[in-house]
Each structure stands twice: as C-alpha cells, then as structure tokens.
Amino acid sequence: MTTILQTLGCKGNILVVDDEPDNLEVLSIILESEGYQVRQAINANIALKTIKLKLPELILLDIKMPEIDGYQLCQKLKSNSETKDIPVIFLSGLARDIDKCKGFEVGAVDFIIKPFHLQETLARVKHQLTIRKLELELQQRNHELSQQNNRLETEVYIRQQAENELESCKLLLEAKNRQIQTIFDNCHSLQAHS
C-alpha cells in the first residue's frame, strides 16, 4: 500500500513534539534531509490540533512539557480510536528505568535518550515506520481476504441452494416418472386383458 507521500519520494510523515525550539529544528533538519516529511508542535495542545488536521505515521514526543506532558499526551492518543495505532517514540533527557517503563506503560513503542545519537535515532525511526507500514499492509490484506471470504461464502450458499433445488427437481421428476410408469403399466395391463 503506497501512500501519496511515498509516491512523491517521502519516506514518511512524522510529527515532532518538543517544547524546545532548538530540538525541534535540529530533528526536523535531520529527518527532512533523510526524506521524511516533518511537522512540528511546541506543546501537546498544538500537537493534538496538528494530528486532527492530518494523522502522522510516527510521533517523536518529548516527555517534559508545560501543561500536558508527553506521558499524558501519549495516553490521550492511545485512548482515541483514530490515533491509537500511531507509533510514539519518546525523546527525553529522563534516563531512569522508571521513566522508560512509564513511557512503555502509556503506549510508547520506543524510548530515545537525549542527547540522541543521529544514526541510532534514524534507525529507530526507520524501524518503527517500517513496522507501521507493514501493519497497514497486513490490515489491508486482511480486509481484502475478508471480502473475498464473504464472496466465496455467498457463492457456496448460492451453489448449495441451487443443488438443493436441483435435488428437489430430481425427486419430483422421479416421482412423476413413477406415476407415468404406473399409468403406463396400468394401460399395458388393461390392453393385455382386453
């Protein structure tokens, strides 16, 4: 399943959410230079508005932000049927295991510690986008298989109905043949006695 962005040479649509403008700029430049389409949000509220306009294929999300932190935003996204399947990678200076575990508990698929390493970040982004695209392809194929299965079930039902009607006609024809044979036998018997 090829998206319009892939047709135009874009590797994926990524939303970067971070309250530090420098982090947003650096990540955007790096990702765009690798062929990704990047949108930016400096807080959770802007991120939610941006997501409503167009669903991203991946979200890179800072944890420490004013008003709504990354954990809360991730929970909101995962509780919404439209956004629950969008992979979220946390980007944070919080490096404790408890912070990482909380990130995974609220629905993140990965956790990158700031300052991030360029190649590692690009590899993780590519990996998650590949997984997401494969999931979407699988969903599409499952949908197609389900439709094909429904068509086959309908065809089987129609054939069974036709076979049942054919069997009924056959039984009716056999009964009519027996009646005709009985009449014929009776006529033949009467002619023999006359």
CB 18 within 8 A of CB 27: yes
pLDDT at 95: 82
Secondary structure (3-state) at 27:
helix
Q: Do 57 and 28 touch, CB atoms closer than 8 A?
A: no
Q: With the C-alpha atoms ordered 39, 45, 48, 50, is the resulting torsion angle positive or negative?
A: negative
Stretches in the chain below the pLDDT threshold 50: 1-8
Beta partners for residue 113, in sequence order: 92
Instruction: Look at residue 65 in the predicted model and tell me its pLDDT.
Output: 92
CB 60, CB 86: distance < 8 Å: no
Question: pTM of the prediction?
Answer: 0.74
Amino acid at the residue 82: E
Q: CA-to-CA distance for 96 and 33, rounded, in angstroms? A: 31
Q: How far is CA 22 from CA 17, 26, 60, 62, 97, in A?
A: 12, 6, 15, 13, 26
* Cβ atoms within 10 Å, residue 74: 26
Q: Domains plus CATH for the chain?
A: 4-136 (3.40.50.2300)
The pLDDT assigned to 36 comes to: 95
pLDDT at 6: 47
Q: Which pLDDT score is estimated for 7? A: 42
